[in-house]
Structure 1
């Protein structure tokens, strides 16, 4: 086995060196990412990993806890909201669409038999709306225990918001940042505060770009790459928040390749090619639910700021992919993000 691992490492290293010198690191990253995905991110990957799960870690009663879940009307967000509601948690669904949000809320209340499910209509691509919601929520509630940043978008064409921001960045990065920053005060009043960010394995293919948030320098817009960059930004954001707020547990996570409306709509070719291998929304959200509700002694032993997949801490970089950014770049990224966010206060 040791010989096999050594040989594999050598082969990967040689491939990386080859692509580095021919100037095609993106091909190397995408190739290794795809291989890793087929092995770990699929339904079979979940089934293998789940053999090591401790089911008793989810035997909890959340009746005294308050949860905010963005994008809770479908996919991973809906599945997470439903599971937490079943455990008697007070669930605050933050959704953009009032109709689908109301339908999802009704379904969750009916199935969970938990009436403490509340709907809030907020468009995360609109920074001012996020700030207004946070202020209203803080005024109406004494504390928040868990913030789950899940909502996201993958627009394949360049779209500018009314504020002049790239729509993918506004939702996936700035929306997460503002929602988190504006909720820190409420979270600090909880005995076990947690902030969770739903990232994606796509971030493995990208190195943090701490300068061109709006992708203005791109001659041709590629929504998939932009989305992956946003997901890298979320992981770095999580790490940096954890450093500056040690009293709050932060974590980012990868749900694997799951069969959700977002996947079917945004990357239909990928869906058609791999639909038989995709995880269910419940399998994809398992780690998210676990991070949100498992006892503090279970979660905190991992340390704050880590990246999780299938209830385990994972590396945030592929081997020899040259995607690591410096501490200075990460810090600069947060400073610039804060500066953009301040414009909407």
Structure 2
């Protein structure tokens, strides 16, 4: 485990010389994305952040942006309205960034919540959580790859369940879980986790100069456990209170979660020209020559889940890539 003291020591080395000048946060209006933005801003560096979120989050996010500006006047946070469960909105947000920036150093993807209840679809026909946690994330990556390729840091962090892949629950004949009875929490969550890993593994191998991280955050009280339940569900009410109680007992604080994800976003131990790793434990991968997706757990350690991931990629990578290209093609 990388100790919290080592994480803080590494983050304290982040300065204006660190090649992190433009960051895009999708899901930064609450939860882990928001905690990570705060950790980044409070380093005091000169940074431009595109904070992408839906219209209903704008008012509370404006006060957060003002707070961040007071903490660090050199931080420029650009509110970018988009309903990121809609792929057309993702394309529009990416086009705005592409016309404004010549590079992106960090793409941080954390939008989503657990698909507890009844299947709900977006106007574009995708299950809402899958749209947030897979399709929109991959579309952001594909649109911004050319800008990431211009960065010395060049890092993509997708926060979901890296290392938690389970081959048994993956249905490669029904990626969208549309068959009758196929959409259940115990199938949907492993499905979306595995789809992230399988596709990001391909992208990491195709773009070896960009660091791709699929992060498992552990227990963090983000409030997202309250989303997704059917209204009036007694089981939902009980489960929400149980999970929030457990999170308070064993989970990471908001600050520690933010600092740990900032560490993953900047430390050279994960590759690229980030902050040199000075810690004594939890050494992961140094240098820029290693290729492939990094699965990183809540302790900031590599958790490759090698046997399962190898099987998933061998069986389904080409098939999933073809499916993903068909879904995202109209928005590229």
- TM-score under structure 2 normalisation? 0.80
Q: Which residue of 2 aligns with 1:334?
A: 321
Q: Which residue of 2 aligns with 1:282?
A: 255
SS of 2:140's equivalent in the other structure is helix
Deviation track 1:108-136 (CA, whole Å, cap 9, x = no partner) reads: 22334444111111111100111111111
In structure 2, runs of 5+ residues without a counterpart are 229-238, 278-284
SS of 1:311's equivalent in the other structure is coil
Question: What does 1:193-272 correspond to in 2, within 5 Å?
Answer: 193-200=154-161, 203-205=164-166, 207-219=169-181, 221-223=183-185, 225-265=187-227, 268-272=240-244
2:137 aligned with 1:181: no
Measure the CA separation in 2 of the matches of 1:121 and 1:128: 13
Deviation track 1:225-271 (CA, whole Å, cap 9, x = no partner) reads: 31332122112222111011112111111111111111344561542
Query: How far off is 1:323 after superposition?
Result: 9.2
Measure the CA separation in 2 of the matches of 1:304 and 1:180: 15
Larger radius of gyration: 1
Deviation track 1:165-212 (CA, whole Å, cap 9, x = no partner) reads: 111111110011000000001111112211111122694445543332
Query: How far off is 1:224 after superposition?
Result: 5.2
Where is the helix percentage greater, Structure 1 or Structure 2? 1
Q: Which residue of 2 aligns with 1:90?
A: 48
Q: Which residue of 1 aligns with 2:28?
A: 72
Check the 8 A contact 1:257/1:284 in 2, yes or no.
no
Judge which range, 290-299 or 186-195, deviates more: 290-299
Give the root-mean-square deviation of aligned CA atoms: 2.7
Greater RCO (CA < 8 Å, at least 6 residues apart): 2
- TM-score under structure 1 normalisation? 0.77
